[in-house]
Chains A and B, each alone.
Chain A
Amino acid sequence: MSDSPAAPSRTKASGVKAALASVSPVPGAPKPDAIFVGDSITRSFGGLAAVDVSHLEVQRGSITALIGPNGAGKTTFFNVITGFDPPNTGTWSFEGSSLAGTPAYKVAREGMIRTFQLTKVLNKLTVLENMRLGAQGQSGESLFRALIPAIWRKQEDEITERALGMLEQFNLFHVKDEFAGSLSGGQRKLLEMARAMMSNPSMLMLDEPMAGVNPALTQSLLEHIKELRETGITIFFVEHDMDMVRDISDWVIVMAQGSIIAEGPPADVMRNPAVIDAYLGAHHDVALTESGESLTDTSVSLTKSEES
């Protein structure tokens, strides 16, 4: 799958694939060079355990997909590890430093930058201003230094230049002076991703980057994500679009009912019976009629014998 003809030459990609080849495809598998390590992370809402992850590692430089049926806890897991939602228990570290209990803005400063399922662009700011906001360490963002433009003018010019280059890459240059609120849904996804890139993240966390994006734009988004990885960034994303997952990810982690039920390279994971059951229900291929027994084929009887 990874050798599709449209793909550019991918040196980083092949390196990651080689490193992951030796990893055993079991839930919570240790990775040779993990950028993110999480342990016993739980988050419950009332009696419902939304997240219950015992161990998870993300390989540095990889494109790792987090998939699972609706309500599996993927977004909640993202919220917890980025500091947007407090966990009930758990520790996790990023690039070796512990991030549990760290507020969201400090998580972002550590280099873990996320986007949101429901795109959060800043409507009444122009596209360019949205981009500028993403840059880190701006001296003009302090109240007193802001009063003296001479202090921050030079840095602002550098940021603007970088933002314009980034907008060009993401095909948004022509709308740079429009209000972000006037962009289409797909353009907003692109803007949010480009804005996150302004922060120079070491891990980019995308929550359903393809949701609501038209198929024509999907292809260019996919290319962007692949190019981002070539710059050395780790990409960790939640997605429902299986074609995308199959196309770009090096490693897939499957969540269901809050915990990780499977891990592995995309092709293997999608054949995993536990994953198929999670998505379609354990009895998905049993006919709903009373006479179902007569229609059973070998695979169903296999599943049944496993359960009993």
Chain B
Amino acid sequence: MDWLTVFQNSLTQMIGVSAIIYCLAALGLNIQFGYTGLLNFGQAGFAAIGAYAIAVTVATLGWPLWLALLFGILGAIIFALLLGIPTLRLRADYLAIVTIAAAEIIRQVARSVSLNDYLGGSDGISGKYAADWYALNPLPVGIDTALIRFSRNDLWVVINGWTLVAIIVLLTWLLVRSPWGRVLKSIREDEDAVRSLGKNVYLYKMQALTLGGVIGAFAGVIFAVAAQSVQPDNYSTTLTFFAYAVLILGGAARVFGPVVGSMIFWFLLVFVGQALNNAVKAGYISSSILRPDQVGQVQFMLVGLGLMALMIFRPQGIFGDKKELALDER
């Protein structure tokens, strides 16, 4: 059994493209859910908008990438407004219902046969639409060490991705310690109290939903650029719920929660999968117990168990404050 490869793969994925994508999606959710208490279950929809905005405009219309990026941001803002205008005046659960449905609508529209010519149906859109951006890569080669291994292109994505994460973390940090952030946290606690103190709660909720949605769209942009393709089924509700898992693992309403949560989540997921695979191949686990094609399912069961254990023994997440959580039980 090749433990070195297992570790190499796990560590690579820990800081790899997937970790960046889920970190970005969770950073957006952190502003919406962690700080403002908005239950956005449609983060996959925002990511899909970011991804498709890039794919469609660059691959089909031949726009430059930066313009496509602006288009993606604009799309996310419009989506947030569409979701927010009817629901943000209502109770929190309505937003949850509307967002989860809206994200599914986006996915179903993207894979619809009638829009096949524009959005590529269930196959999505592939192409070298980020070729110009990859051409900017100054790195001569990738990296190949005992611990991590990235191809030249992946390394370029990873460096830029984490830089983007760092910028968003910095912005979040600046915002949540400002009076604006204080209003958001207060809305999470009791929006009527905030209203009674002369703050326009609706406006703040809209700002939080939009800002978190734009960050979620960046997750889709990175996904599309890294894979050089978009497929509608990558933006199913699974993406949203993984992002929630990442957020809660790291600790909601903590600036670094999504970053660390995403790293731990992907390390665990890949490590468990690879370890099981290797163990089955090497015969440590008899195929009467676990066949190689069952590893994928068992991998998620074990990670799920691990997350459950975390919620039982450390419900506040890695960075959370148990004292804060205890207030809910009073």
Residues of A within 8 A of B (CB): 82, 84, 103-106, 108-109, 113-116, 120-125, 129, 132-134, 136, 138-143, 145-147, 149, 152, 156, 179, 181-182, 192, 195-196, 198-199
A152 to chain B, nearest CB (A): 6
B323, A146: Cβ atoms closer than 8 Å: no
B138 at the interface (CB under 8 A from A): no
A124, B327: Cβ atoms closer than 8 Å: yes
Residue in chain A with minimal CB distance to B195: A104
A141, B198: Cβ atoms closer than 8 Å: no
Residue in chain A with minimal CB distance to B197: A134
- Are A125 and B178 also in contact (CB < 8 A) when A105-B195, A116-B192, A199-B197 are? no
Contact partner of B197 among A113, A149, A181, CB < 8 A? A113
B324, A122: Cβ atoms closer than 8 Å: no
Which chain A positions have C-beta within 8 A of B188?
A: 124
B182, A125: Cβ atoms closer than 8 Å: yes
B186, A122: Cβ atoms closer than 8 Å: yes
Q: List 19 A-B contacts (CB under 8 A).
A: A103-B200, A108-B195, A115-B196, A120-B190, A122-B189, A122-B190, A123-B189, A125-B189, A132-B182, A133-B182, A136-B198, A139-B179, A141-B180, A143-B180, A147-B175, A156-B179, A196-B197, A198-B197, A199-B197
The B interface, classified by DSSP as helix, strand, loop or mixed, is: helix
A122, B327: Cβ atoms closer than 8 Å: no
B126 to chain A, nearest CB (A): 37
**Measured CA separation A108–B327 after assembly (Å):** 28
**Measured CA separation A98–B188 after assembly (Å):** 31
Residue in chain B with minimal CB distance to A138: B179
A147, B174: Cβ atoms closer than 8 Å: yes
Which chain A positions have C-beta within 8 A of B181?
A: 146
A146, B197: Cβ atoms closer than 8 Å: no
Contact partner of B192 among A84, A103, A136, A149, CB < 8 A? A84
Most-contacted residue by chain B among A105, A114, A195, A199 (CB, 10 A): A105
Residues of B within 8 A of A (CB): 171, 174-175, 178-183, 185-186, 188-190, 192-201, 207, 211, 323-324, 327-328, 330
B179, A105: Cβ atoms closer than 8 Å: no
A146, B193: Cβ atoms closer than 8 Å: no
A152, B199: Cβ atoms closer than 8 Å: no
A105, B199: Cβ atoms closer than 8 Å: yes
- Are A82 and B196 also in contact (CB < 8 A) when A123-B327, A124-B189, A181-B327 are? yes
**Measured CA separation A116–B194 after assembly (Å):** 12
Which chain B positions have C-beta within 8 A of A132?
A: 179, 182
Most-contacted residue by chain A among B179, B200, B207 (CB, 10 A): B179
Contact partner of B199 among A116, A141, A147, A198, CB < 8 A? A141
B185, A122: Cβ atoms closer than 8 Å: yes
**Measured CA separation A296–B28 after assembly (Å):** 73
**Measured CA separation A297–B198 after assembly (Å):** 55
